[in-house]
């Protein structure tokens, strides 16, 4: 792909994280009274992803902890790997169950299958509302226009996709940004050597899925630090 002025900078900065969290806060969330938020947590499990998979497995409990006071969260794990393999788990409200699932998975070489993730999210939300989708990956080997069309369908259904991009691949960055924008979600690049950043971002999306913008702002006040600064920027925006 040729260079594009719309492509992001190679380095992830505090401003990138700030912008991501502002977009999380601005996205609408619809959750029926008395129901847990529902988050589809999708990961690329191709060969290059093992270190990040292990890292995400270690911090995933934070998503449940952060949303406990909001009535909890249900998460479905989805992943792709190998030769066309795409799997999804049952919905769970247990950090222990999700950890057991994640630690049983090993990564295999293969091509990306982001389109399957987006199609699955659409099918799931037509049965019962999915409040948000998180997708963690480092590359894209699919037709961007097709991914954009699928993302647009999710946008019409009110299902934002939050794209977490590890690395600096410009083609992946462009595709991830398109999916995020067309679905009404947000894009953020992260560094696998900074697990605290990934933990904060995942927790923020989980809180958003469970309780929307007010819950996210309250979470920011309790957490302090960088997320508190972002919450101040959100007000009135």
Of the chain, the percentage scoring pLDDT greater than 90 comes to 35
The answer to whether the CB of 107 falls within 8 A of the CB of 128 is: no
Supply angle C-alpha 82, 86, 92, rounded to 5.
130
The answer to whether the CB of 157 falls within 8 A of the CB of 129 is: no
pLDDT tens per residue across span 171-229: 999 999 999 889 988 888 877 666 777 787 788 888 888 887 777 777 777 766 545 54
pLDDT tens per residue across span 91-143: 998 888 888 888 888 889 989 999 999 999 999 999 999 998 999 999 999 99
Q: How confident is the model at residue 31 (pLDDT cuts 50, 70, 90)?
A: low
Q: Please, what's the largest Cα pairwise distance for the chain?
A: 49
**pTM, two decimal places:** 0.79
Q: How confident is the model at residue 237 (pLDDT cuts 50, 70, 90)?
A: very low
pLDDT value for 118: 98
Residue partners of 210: CB distance under 8 A and separation at least 6: 31, 36, 37, 67, 70, 71, 72, 73, 131
Four-way CATH pick for 35-212: 3.40.50.410, 3.90.550.10, 3.40.50.1970, 3.40.190.100: 3.40.50.410
CB environment 54-74: b (16+ within 10 A), e (fewer): ebbbeebebbbebbeebeebb
Q: Domain residue spans in the chain?
A: 35-212
């Amino acid at each position: 792909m040729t260079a594009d002025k719309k492509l992001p900078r190679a380095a992830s900065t505090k401003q990138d994280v700030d912008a991501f969290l502002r977009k999380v806060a601005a996205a609408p969330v619809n959750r029926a009274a008395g129901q847990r938020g529902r988050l589809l947590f999708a990961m690329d499990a191709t060969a290059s992803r093992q270190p990040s998979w292990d890292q995400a497995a270690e911090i995933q409990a934070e998503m449940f902890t952060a949303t406990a006071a909001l009535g909890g969260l249900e998460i479905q794990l989805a992943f792709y790997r190998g030769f066309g393999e795409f799997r999804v788990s049952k919905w769970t409200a247990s950090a222990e169950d999700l950890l057991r699932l994640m630690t049983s998975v090993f990564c295999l070489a293969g091509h990306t299958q982001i389109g399957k993730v987006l199609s699955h999210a659409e099918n799931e939300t037509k049965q019962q509302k999915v409040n948000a989708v998180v997708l963690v990956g480092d590359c894209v080997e699919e037709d961007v226009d097709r991914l954009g069309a699928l993302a647009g369908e999710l946008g019409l259904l009110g299902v934002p996709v939050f794209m977490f991009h590890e690395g600096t691949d410009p083609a992946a960055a462009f595709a991830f940004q398109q999916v995020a924008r067309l679905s009404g979600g947000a894009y953020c690049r992260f560094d696998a050597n900074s697990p605290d950043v990934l933990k904060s971002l995942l927790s923020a999306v989980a809180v958003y899925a469970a309780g929307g913008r007010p819950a996210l702002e309250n979470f920011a006040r309790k957490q302090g630090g960088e997320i508190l600064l972002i919450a101040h920027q959100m007000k009135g925006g």
